Chain A
């Protein structure tokens, strides 16, 4: 429509000196409700998140060791400069990165295979029970997984070593072996999280429009063609979200390692979260470990941003399709 000589805009109306109307009551009532409903969550959030975060930030500027007498001393950025020069920490950050790449790669690939397997066999008798058995490992607290695997990996009576001997090798103490401890943790972590990636794969496959799949079948596309042209375009976002969640989780991995190897032997399996915990509760260096915690907080915030970015991409794309 072309521009019209019809009514002037609000702005020009105001210029003409017509007083602006008082804000209608309905609006202020809505504002009252919108914030009123948030109050309980905000109270909990401030009490249990904001205050601890500020506390942590504050601590990170102090020299504060529980084991030494004397008051905490304000030392400015010293903890951070010390952090920047702390070789072992950067080493464990690098180790975390290695672990992350390996774990996420293994779990994504094998999870995709397992997920596809269950998607193909969606009519198998007892599928729900089978899925329950498959999914139970990821629902356990990592601590109990570590504990359960200790029973199996025990160097003296562990069932794994029984199989090791069956194939004609010597018994191995996996959790203290310098070369095998890291792979052992990786295997147990993958045992827990392959099912998760299988779940994400199932969701991704479930999000592929049925009509498109049927069309692909009619067109006689090969498995790879279907994968590249139909399945991946529709399902990739969910897989990416799964990969991101796993990446984030690796940064949090603590209990499992703590229970299996306690970061050892030496520092072979010391991931960053383990290092942080050791710093705080073994050496009681609160100021310094808070500085590390702040660093991890920033990493977490960065990862959250990436996660939400992908999530937004996905919903925007879905909105376009709708």
Chain B
């Protein structure tokens, strides 16, 4: 785990945060840092503690141990009122007794913002989220997407440069999410502010994040720029969290053959490099790297049993089984390979370079496959 970046330069820094409820430890030594201007996505499985992490950042829950820095200042012992953070809660939490306008103005009314500035901000956030014509409605007159836009607008209306968005798109339908994802990205860069965003949806992480932190086992197992974490994940959890569908993790065994090392899995044996000791390993293979059809030169190939397929809008996930080991792959709905699939079995192939090796205990990266030819 890297040392927290110097708090002074970061928008948010957590250092060694612990949080437990009764006998369950939710966060253990959680350390992270968010730079100003980041669209920082906390990615993690459901109930991995994302909400707790955000609540600690907001000051809604005290940490059992560790420190929270906002804009370089230690706010660990400060209440939520003193942290000046914009907040979009998971459920919309729009005040049912207030109009959309009053909902959006709420953070500014509490901060006693001047009338002119208030109207300006209102105009700006309404513009960004295209909700001008909803201002006089009541929350119960809005559709789910409109409620969500209003909630985001209210969060953004806070006069600050750090915003927390707790899985705001959960439960919305696919189309709506796509549109809001674009809006959120555009909004963040238009305002030039910092977003801390949590989601368990890898697609949202991939589409939104400039920086990503993967929350697993109570801590940030890996954080960094999205491309870097995606391309060369250093933790098995990061590889799984940033993949749609989730990356395959299968068991493998490494043995030394002369000066080189070979890793065998149900798919076959490939040469691997890195700091790998002989013995069991965990092999990560992204779903999209599992090819269907003819194997390319150097790839390992098998015939897999096709369990079922799932249409996820534009692409099709294939759930497979190889010698009892479940795997998945993904194909475009229009692809020729998909059309060629018969029933019962599928020929699959994986390039050795797609193999990423993790230590089975620490689940950190120890090596990768070597591509020949």
Contacts and interface: CB of A to CB of B under 8 A. Distances in A.
Contact between A and B in the complex (any CB pair below 8 Å): yes
Given A1-B217, A26-B59, A6 B77 contact: no
A128 interface: no
B218 interface: yes
A126 interface: no
Given A5-B361, A6-B362, A10-B18, A26 B64 contact: no
Interface string A1-40: 1111111111001000000110111110100000000000
Contacts of B62: 23-27
B66 to A, nearest CB: 8
Contact of B361 (A4, A23, A24, A25): A4
A29 B77 CA distance: 11
Contacts of B63: 24
A243 B196 CA distance: 53
Contacts of B64: 10, 21
Contacts of B269: none
B362 A7 contact: no
A292 to B, nearest CB: 44
A27 B79 CA distance: 10
Contacts of A25: 62, 77, 79
A215 B217 CA distance: 45
Nearest to B20: A10
Contact of A6 (B20, B59, B219): B219
B347 interface: no
A7 B219 contact: yes
Contacts of B28: 6-10
Contacts of A10: 18, 20, 25, 28, 64-65
- Dominant secondary structure of chain A at its interface with chain B: loop
A5 to B, nearest CB: 5
Contacts of B102: none
Nearest to A21: B65
A2 B362 CA distance: 9
Contacts of A24: 62-63, 76-77
B363 interface: yes
Interface string B148-181: 0000000000000000000000000000000000
A4 to B, nearest CB: 5
Contacts of B76: 24
A178 B249 CA distance: 85
B253 interface: no
Interface in B337-373: 360-363
A245 B2 CA distance: 62
Nearest to A27: B62
B362 A5 contact: yes
B189 to A, nearest CB: 34
Nearest to B48: A1
B29 interface: yes
Interface string B1-44: 00000000000000000101000010011000000000000000
Interface string B210-249: 0000001111010000000000000001000000000000
Contacts of A7: 28-29, 218-219
A4 B237 CA distance: 12
B44 to A, nearest CB: 11
Nearest to B236: A1
B20 A4 contact: no
Contact of B362 (A4, A8, A23): A4
A13 B66 CA distance: 12
A153 to B, nearest CB: 52
B340 to A, nearest CB: 37
Nearest to A26: B62
Contacts of B79: 25-26, 29
Contacts of A27: 62
Contact of B217 (A6, A20, A23): A6
Nearest to A29: B79
Contacts of B216: 1
A113 to B, nearest CB: 38
Interface centre among A20, A21, A29 (most CB of B within 10 A): A21
Given A6-B362, A10-B65, A26 B18 contact: no
A2 B361 contact: yes
Contact of B65 (A4, A5, A6, A20): A20
Contacts of A6: 28-29, 217-219, 221, 362
Interface in B48-70: 59, 61-66
B371 to A, nearest CB: 29
Contacts of A1: 216-217, 237
15 contacts: A1-B216, A4-B361, A6-B28, A7-B29, A7-B219, A9-B25, A9-B28, A10-B25, A13-B65, A21-B65, A21-B66, A24-B76, A25-B79, A26-B59, A29-B79
Interface of B: 18, 20, 25, 28-29, 59, 61-66, 76-77, 79, 216-219, 221, 237, 360-363
Interface of A: 1-10, 13, 20-21, 23-27, 29
Given A9-B25, A24-B62, 20 more contacts: A1-B216, A2-B361, A4-B361, A4-B363, A5-B362, A6-B28, A6-B217, A6-B219, A6-B362, A7-B28, A7-B29, A8-B29, A9-B28, A13-B65, A21-B66, A24-B77, A26-B59, A26-B61, A26-B77, A26-B79
